[in-house]
Structure formats: structure tokens, C-alpha cells
A and B are shown apart, each in its own frame.
Chain A
Amino acid sequence: MTELLLQTVVNAVYAASYMSLIAVGLVLIFGVMGVINFAHGELYMAGAYTVVALYSQMNVPFLAAVAAGLIFVGALGILMEYAFFRPLRDNPLGGLIASIGFLLILQTTAVLGFGVRMAHIKPPTQAKIELMEGVVLTHQRLFVIVAAIALLSALYVFLRKTKFGWAMRACAQDKEAAALQGISLNQITRIAMFIGAGLAGVAGALTAPLVSPTPYMGHSVIVTAFIIIIVGGIGQLEGAVVAAILYAFVHTFVTTFFDGVVADIVGLVLMLVVLVIKPTGLFGAKERA
């Protein structure tokens, strides 16, 4: 029993790490741009298919393929900003609808390029660590955990210690006042979209060998990400990380001890409970204008 419990904890930590990457990206885009990016799950999918194309089909080293996933999907984010979100800056609903359109474009492109069937990727390594009798952590999963911690730490340092980080937070709080400091809104939103999309892409790329990508894999991811950012408090980066950890633990434990469908229901109930008790989310402050 102890082994099963510990193994479930290990699994939950793994789930929390890639969910954090996705949710933090979504929150960053919402915070700076004020739009809900519905295509975020498909950006995750695009990251996974970067690994399918480069690593599985073209034999590029796995790490290089993951880095390419981050850069390629980050570039897709810049494209979205340029093509949709900038022209629709004063129209958040328009931005949301445009992102749904982009989601369909990405899905269709993946179907045309790779087919609707699951892509199976041979894991770059089969090695595993036996933490104790019966508790196993594969190198592949450990790599996802380490990469997530490294990337989120780097993001934290960027936001707290660099002038572009201050500028990004300033834009998220008051765009006009930020412009009065000489901060270019276009430049900051471009950076935010690159980081936000890139984090989703790298999450997809890192987990691709573990999940068997399909063109429709973004769907369940975006629902999970929405639950997480609502629980954490929309616009709260720290809240997204904490909520991702909370959600991952609840979901993983319920999946292990009951089943996956019950876990999805429990996840939604968790969101409802938070909304009833603290409608602004666990970390949400008063609503900002």
C-alpha cells in the first residue's frame, strides 16, 4: 500500500509539472493580452508533433527536437499576436473567437500532415530509477519534472529581476500607464506570446513520448488548463502553479484509486467548490479594471 501511495505521488508530481507549464502560459497570455487563448491546447499539440516530425521521423536528437518545439510554437504565438490579437486588441471577444479559428487550423494541419491516428514515439530512454521497492520514476518523466522546474524558475527570475519582466507585469496591470513609461505594448505582447505559447509547446514536446500524440489531444488539455486557472485565480501566475499541483494530485489520486472519469468529475467539482467559496480563485485579488 505504501508503495502504491508513493508511486501515485511520483505520478502526480509528473502531472503537476507539465500541467503547470501549460497553465502558466495560458495565464501569462491572459494577463498581458486580456484574451483567453482557446488555441492553447493546440499549441501543446503542435509542440508534441514537432517531436513526432523531428525526432521520430527525421531522427533529430530528442533534446534538439524539444528545443525546436519551444521555438516553433513560440513563433506560432508571435504569429497569433500579429495576425489576430493585435488587430483585435480592443475586442477581447473577437480575440477569443479568432483563437478558436486558429485552433481548427492547427488541428486540420496536423491531420493533413500526420493523419488522425495516434503517433507512437519510441522513448529516447527506457532507463528508470527505482526510488524504493516498487516505486519507479522513469528518466523520461524525471526529465519532464526537471525541465518544468527549470523553465518556471527561469520565468520567475525573468519577471522579478529583469526590466522586461517588470515591463510585462506593468503591462498586465495598467497598459496605458505602462505606455507612459516608454514601454512598447507591441514589443511586450510579442514577448509574452512567445513565452506563453512556447511553454505550451515545450510541455507538448517533453511529454510527446509518454502520451502518444493525436491531432485532437489539445481538447482535454485546454479543459484541464481552464480548471486550473480558475482555481488559481485568473491572471495569477503563482496561483496557476499551486492550482496545477493541487489539481494534479487530486486527479492522479482519484484516477489511481477510482477511475479516470470520476477524476474528471472531481476536478470539475473542485473548480465549482472554489468558485462558490472564493469566486476570484485561491490566489485571486479584487477584480482589476
Chain B
Amino acid sequence: MLLEIRDIHVHYSGVAALKGVSMQVPEDGIVTIIGANGAGKSTTLRAVSGLTSISSGEIWFAGERIDTLTADKVVARGIAQVPEGRRIFPDLTVEENLRTGAFLRSDKSDIEHDLEKIFNRFPRLRERRRQWAKTLSGGEQQMVAIGRALMARPRLLLLDEPSMGLAPVVIQEIARIIREIVREGVPVVLVEQNAELALGLANYAYVLETGSVSLDGAADNLHENEHVKRAYLGV
């Protein structure tokens, strides 16, 4: 397993947000975490990235315990995150945003090469490379956020609600990009409220309900699960 979350608990000022969550993420494919608002999906990703400290449990990545590391050290180990709400830097240009993703890298020519690759993948970003990021549309901002994370050359990519606030046609484009990233060998943990989209993309799925895993299994199986259908797929 590339990433292993072992029985983690998280408290926000005394209130339990995660109550013993365990998950496993293999070396390839997509693992998705679905669940309602406030179920603890983002908290799980924040804990992995070192943005939120856990009160008990362990997080292991590639054979190393990472739950005591600060966020920048977690990135150095190879975990990049596209946070909820994209969180691009509004007063940096598109290109500067992308380059901050490569902050820890010193391989200059490879950075230029990766930047080219991202501009080829997102041609609209190339046109806008010198614009302030805040002037972009929501879909373009999401592309900047994903491109920025890829600039780190991550070994694992965490995506928090990439479909949030986007038009259906843009969501389809984002889905295509996620498939492409996985095909190129970067495993993805996808947090989504849009369960239909998430189960369609993923190989394996966890369902979070009020801070614990209520169900997990192959994404295809969960897609046919009666409870999941009723609660998350709206059928």
C-alpha cells in the first residue's frame, strides 16, 4: 500500500470530526471518498497533508510515518493536494501559480518541460499565462490548481471536490484529466460530493458518515449498493 490511514481521530476544538478512520490507497488507480457535507472527507485529506493534526492513530506513506510532519514536509515526501475551493493564489499570474507548485524542485530543465506539458494539457492556460489568476473562470482556476499540484511531480495526488461549482461540461473535462493523470502513473485520492462522478471514475470507494467509514468496497459494487443508491445517487 502506498498510503495507509490507521484508525485516525481528529478533533476540532473538542468536537470529534473523525472517529477512527482507516483507509488504504494502492500504488495505482483512483480511490474515492464520498459522503455528505461535514462527514469528514476534507478533514481526512487535511490530516494526510499535515494541515490538521490528528489526536490519535497513524498515517503511513511509502513505508514512512508521516502524521507528525508539517505540511511542507508532507509535500516533500511526494503528496500533493488540490484543496477544496481550489485556493489558487489570486494575485499571482497563472504561470507563477504553476511555478509555486515546483517550489521544492531544483531540476530546472525538467521544470520547464513539465510546465510545457501542463500548457499542452490545458491550452487555455498557455494563452493566459501572464494574467492574474483571479481573472480566470472557475474551470480555468481548477485547471491551475490541478496543474500546480502536478508541477510537484507527486507520487500521490489528493483532489478535494474538483467538481465543486463547475458546469457539467467542465466537470466532464476535469474527469477526463483525472483519468489521464492516473494513466500516466500517479494514483489519485478523490473526495467528492458528486457520488455518481466519483464512483464512475474510481476503482475503490469509501463512504464516510459522521466521521467514520460506514462502507467500503470496489466502486462498481458500491454503485449497486442499495444504501449508496438511496443516500448518495438519488435513485
Contact = CB atoms under 8 A, between A and B. Distances in A.
A181 B70 contact: no
A176 B87 contact: yes
Nearest to B82: A180
Nearest to B101: A181
Contact of B100 (A167, A184, A185, A285): A167
Interface in A171-202: 173-174, 176-185
Contacts of A176: 51, 71, 83, 87
A139 interface: no
A180 B75 contact: yes
B152 A182 contact: yes
A182 B104 contact: yes
A237 B103 CA distance: 23
Given A173-B89, A173-B90, A179 B72 contact: yes
B72 A177 contact: no
B75 A181 contact: yes
Nearest to B49: A180
Given A182-B76, A183-B72, A177 B83 contact: yes
Contacts of B104: 181-182
Interface of A: 163, 166-167, 169-170, 173-174, 176-185, 285, 288
29 contacts: A163-B100, A163-B102, A167-B100, A169-B96, A170-B89, A170-B100, A173-B90, A173-B92, A174-B87, A176-B51, A176-B71, A177-B83, A177-B88, A179-B50, A179-B70, A179-B71, A179-B75, A180-B80, A180-B83, A181-B75, A181-B100, A182-B72, A182-B75, A182-B76, A183-B72, A183-B100, A183-B103, A185-B72, A285-B91
Q: Which 7 A-B pairs have the closest CB atoms?
A: A182-B75, A179-B71, A177-B87, A182-B104, A184-B72, A173-B89, A181-B100
